[in-house]
Amino acid sequence: MLDGKTAIVTGAAGDLGNAMARHLAEASASVSLWDIKSERDAQSALARVQAHDPGARYSIVDVRDRDRVDQAIAELPRLDIVCSNAGIVEAQPFLEVTGENWRDHLDINLTGCFNVCQAAARKMVDDGREGRIILTSSWVGSIPWPEITPYSVSKAGVNMLVKQMARELAVHRILVNAIAPGIVNAGLAGRQLRDEPQYAARVAKVIPLVEPGSPEEIAQAVVYLAGPQTAYMTGSILTLDGGCSLFQFDA
Ligand SMILES: NC(=O)c1ccc[n+]([C@@H]2O[C@H](COP(=O)([O-])OP(=O)(O)OC[C@H]3O[C@@H](n4cnc5c(N)ncnc54)[C@H](O)[C@@H]3O)[C@@H](O)[C@H]2O)c1
């Protein structure tokens, strides 16, 4: 389905990003994996993608570092699909949020997306190529959730970044959308489910479809947003949250 297309995925050594890279490779795209992790720490993530795309490559790119992002984009022979997915979460009650925690979330989750997406869009426009840009938001970008104010605010910013870019890049046939996962039993939420009992207790009450989601479900939606079926879709936030944002009150 994505034959001849070249994709980058940021945060590709993490759980969701790695599933995205794998599914894009399975759909025949050539994939570049970007992450801040060392090559050694990313080795198994790369190997899983290379099982489908033997030419898949790994690059260390800190999305906060604009010079490094520009350099890594310039190294790509062509670029069709961008998954701006790298992100962090560290829970702190609002009254205890530190300046460092606030800045880290905005720098990585929001400014990181701006850096990657603007650099990628500039290349697509310079090359005269249509493109797809897919950001990883979250259901908590529009619904407040306890103890993650900087994270939620960063994802709310991502949602508006999507709409702004979609509006201005449509003329270049660059389509910009986001996926908004709910609670996935992997990656950031997977670690919180394991390590934070109060988080697991809250989660047990809020998913109408009961179970947390999987990285595969999220990655399949990314392939959909990268493919021909969504050629008339831009500026959308595609929510895959098992109904979390519909609210489930104890009845
Ligand atoms: N897991 C969930 O339930 C869930 C739900 C909603 C949204 N998300 C979003 O999915 C995305 C991926 O998260 P995940 O759950 O796979 O977590 P993860 O920790 O498994 O993956 C995140 C990856 O981002 C990388 N990263 C962190 N800082 C970076 C930087 N400065 N530059 C480049 N890479 C960096 C990490 O090294 C890691 O490999 C995030 O944007 C997250 O907010 C996750």
CATH 1.10.1520.10 holds for 6-240: no
How far is the CA of 180 from the CAs of 46, 196, 200, in angstroms?
Answer: 24, 22, 20
Q: For residue 138, give the amino acid letter.
A: S
Cβ 187 under 6 angstroms from ligand 1: yes
Top mutation candidate among 9, 15, 16, 106 for ligand 1, by most atoms within 8 Å of CB? 16
As beta bridge partners, residue 134 has: 83, 177
Which among 162, 159, 68 is positioned nearest to 115, based on CA atoms?
A: 68
Cβ 152 under 6 angstroms from ligand 1: no
Distance CA 81, CA 245 (A): 28
Q: Among all residues, which ones are annotated catalytic?
A: 151
- The Cβ of residue 204 has, within 10 Å, a number of other Cβ atoms equal to 10
Cβ 37 under 6 angstroms from ligand 1: yes
Which residue lies with its CA nearest to atom 39 of ligand 1? Answer: 14
| Nearest atom within ligand 1 for CA of residue 37 | 37
Tokens of 187: 């990656």
- The Cβ of residue 98 has, within 10 Å, a number of other Cβ atoms equal to 11
Q: How close is the Cα of 202 to the center of ligand 1, in Å?
A: 21
How far is the CA of 158 from the CAs of 1, 17, 18, 176, in angstroms?
Answer: 28, 17, 20, 11
Q: Would you list the domain boundaries of the chain?
A: 6-240
Which among 195, 181, 243 is positioned nearest to 11, based on CA atoms?
A: 181
Q: How close is the Cα of 171 to the center of ligand 1, in Å?
A: 30
Which among 79, 43, 48 is positioned nearest to 58, based on CA atoms?
A: 43
H or E element that contains 177:
strand 174-181
Cβ 88 under 6 angstroms from ligand 1: yes
229 Cβ contact partners less than 8 Å away, ≥ 6 residues apart: none
Which residue lies with its CA nearest to atom 36 of ligand 1? Answer: 11
- The Cβ of residue 77 has, within 10 Å, a number of other Cβ atoms equal to 7
DSSP 25-70: HHTT-EEEEEESS-HHHHHHHHHHHHTT-TT-EEEE--TT-HHHHH
Residue 247 has a pLDDT of 79
Rounded (10°) angle between helices 187-195 and 197-206: 120
Which among 13, 20, 127, 18 is positioned nearest to 79, based on CA atoms?
A: 127
pTM: 0.98
Span between the terminal Cα atoms of the chain, in Å: 45
Which among 130, 127, 141 is positioned nearest to 179, based on CA atoms?
A: 141
Top mutation candidate among 36, 161, 216 for ligand 1, by most atoms within 8 Å of CB? 36
Residue 250 has a pLDDT of 65
Cβ 213 under 6 angstroms from ligand 1: no
Per-residue pLDDT of the chain (251 residues; tens, 9 = 90+): 999 999 999 999 999 999 999 999 999 999 999 999 999 999 999 999 999 999 999 999 999 999 999 999 999 999 999 999 999 999 999 999 999 999 999 999 999 999 999 999 999 999 999 999 999 999 999 999 999 999 999 999 999 999 999 999 999 999 999 999 999 999 999 999 999 898 888 898 899 999 999 999 999 999 999 999 999 999 999 999 999 999 776 65
Residue 249 has a pLDDT of 67
Cβ 68 under 6 angstroms from ligand 1: no
Residue 77 has a pLDDT of 96
